[in-house]
Structure 1
Amino acid sequence: MKARVNEGCISCGACVAVCPEVFRFDDDGIAEAYADVAPECESTAKDARDGCPVSVIDIEE
């Protein structure tokens, strides 16, 4: 699975806190998906997507 943080991220840090195995802040302080979603991280990656206050995270199978 692949995750993507689309334009509009407000840098709240929710995704980074929930799933640091997939999400981190880039050099500009914007969240990015830096790794593929491993099977053991699917649930937390989806929680990060669902908890994004501006709904800018996509996860593709």
Structure 2
Amino acid sequence: MPPAARPTFHEIRALSIHLYSEAGYDPQARAAHTDSKSTRIYQRGHVDWVEVPAGEVG
């Protein structure tokens, strides 16, 4: 996958926080944020997800 098409660290982290929240877990604990403000930053603006093909690690 070309580098420009790869998700960034923060996009992956936002997805993790989203999935934990949807599963009913506390996303702040998962993200290890000391305050909820930091967690909310990751939760905002990450509603439209882009599906990418699976990659293989060689």
Instruction: Tell me if TM exceeds 0.5.
Output: no
Structure richer in strand, relative to its length: 1
Larger radius of gyration: 2
Considering Cα pairs closer than 8 Å and 6+ residues apart, tell me whether 1 or 2 has the greater RCO.
1
User: TM-score, structure 1 length as denominator?
Assistant: 0.28
